[in-house]
Amino acid sequence: MSLDQVVAELFPQLKRQVRGRRMVYLDSAATALKPVTVIEAVRNSLAMETANVHRGAHLLSDEATEKYENVREAVRAYIGADSRSEIIFTRGTTEGLNLLAQCLGGLILSEGDEILLSQMEHHSNIVPWQMIAEKMRAKVKFAPINDDGSLDVNAFKSMLSPRTKIVSLVHLSNALGTINPIKELFALAHEVGALTVLDAAQSISSLPIQVSALGADFLVFSGHKVFAPTGIGVLYGRKEWLEKMPPYQGGGSMIADVTEEGTTFLASPHRFEAGTPAIAQVMGLGAALEFVKNLGFEKIHNHERNLMRIADEQFAKIPGLRRIGTAPAHAHVLSFLLGNSHPSDVGAILDEQGIAVRAGHHCCQPLMRRLQIPGTVRASFSVYTSEVDIMDLSKAVMKAKDLLL
């Protein structure tokens, strides 16, 4: 039995119809559907376990705090961090990167220093670094990509220097599906003394991640990409650096002592978690990571490889279709163009047939400028995607071709 058949009943939204047709959800790179275990974890937290964490003097608060911190431990184990104090809950990848840019960048950057990114980065891994670079009079540089969407490793290496203080790279491109050789790239970064940041938003649900083995000093991901609710994410940082970094926001929960003269702060992770956290969402994140763990990365990988093989075979039969992003190391994202048709026109025709894809620049405008295209149509797969979904996508794209070309 295929993986999608095993998990299909766990995803209630798959039973929906869209425009009178069976729903084909191929937008998992934007946000993943939620299994019943996650939905129930959130529902139970709201229905039966409502209480604030860390500060209560009653049983409900004690129970909520224990479960909340148990999820922190689950995240630690999931990514192979050394300590739960290295795990900070955020609203998502974007907030994690903004926190790092302001707190880490503001701490270590000086005029003339450099931050090295790549041309395939999501805007959330570009804009925060540009903002802090402008403030600190540092420079943001972009390692180029090859025509197939892979990173030009030689060019990346040549751009590293003692001026490079931060290297921040995506693990798996949301627009291309490219999987970057992070271990190799981060080793090169460390040779020049740079700190490394890994954007694991897309890889967190499909690739096993061990931060030490990859050489990541920091890592960020969003819960909603890994079957958890929106509004919750994680920032991992090496303890020695988190202890040096100032807090991102001020308020309750992150202070040691407040006087009229000033404030002292708690240690990590609490110094970076001001205010009442997203408790129910954290419970959902814990259930989501358990869901992935129970499936196993080998099964997930084999399932996605099979889907990509079928999609490649079907798309090769469609005249005028051009794949965007064909790097040898590639995962569950399939981007394409249909002749000279605008991606939004193709996406609209697919939507009429009940197929949900993404169309546009995918928050990767520098990448699209490098490729000299306005954007792409993006179909992205997950554990619940079936072979039938791929066949329906192929038929719908063929219909779009007949209408547009």
Specify the 3-state DSSP secondary structure of 330.
strand
**How many C-beta atoms surround the C-beta of residue 373 within 10 A?**
15
d(CA 284, CA 291): 10
Which DSSP helix (H) or strand (E) runs through 21?
strand 21-22
Point out the catalytic residue in the list 23, 30, 363, 398: 363
Q: Please confirm, yes or no, whether 363 is among the known catalytic residues.
A: yes
Contact call for residues 177 and 364 (beta carbons, < 8 A):
no
Determine the Cα–Cα distance for residues 118 and 181; give it in Å rounded to an integer. 13
The angle, 0 to 180 degrees and rounded to 10, between the axes of the packed helices 387-404 and 343-352 is 120
The DSSP-derived string for 358-393 is EEE-TT-HHHHHHHT-S-EEEEE--TT--HHHHHHH
**51, 67, 219, 227, 270 from 56: Cα distances, Å:** 8, 14, 31, 30, 16
For residues 61 and 333, give the distance between their C-alpha atoms in angstroms, rounded to a whole number. Answer: 42
pLDDT, position 56: 79
pLDDT score recorded for residue 97? 98
For 325-375, the pLDDT digits (tens) are: 999 999 999 999 999 999 999 999 999 999 999 999 999 999 999 999 999
Residue 377's pLDDT is 98
**Of 337, 342, 332, nearest in space to 383 by CA:** 332
Q: So what's the pLDDT on residue 378? A: 98
Cα atoms in the 13 Å half-sphere on the side-chain side of 308: 23
Q: Can you tell me the distance from the alpha carbon of 69 to that of 78, in angstroms, rounded to the nearest whole number?
A: 14
pLDDT at 1: 79
What parts of the chain have a pLDDT lower than 70?
none
Pairwise CA distance, residues 337 & 323, whole Å: 7
Angle at 33 (CA atoms; ends 30, 35), nearest 5 degrees: 150
Residue 48 confidence (pLDDT): 96
Q: What domains can be seen in the chain, in order of their start residue?
A: 3-30+296-404 (3.90.1150.10), 40-293 (3.40.640.10)
- Using CA atoms, how far apart are residues 343 and 336, in angstroms rounded to an integer? 9
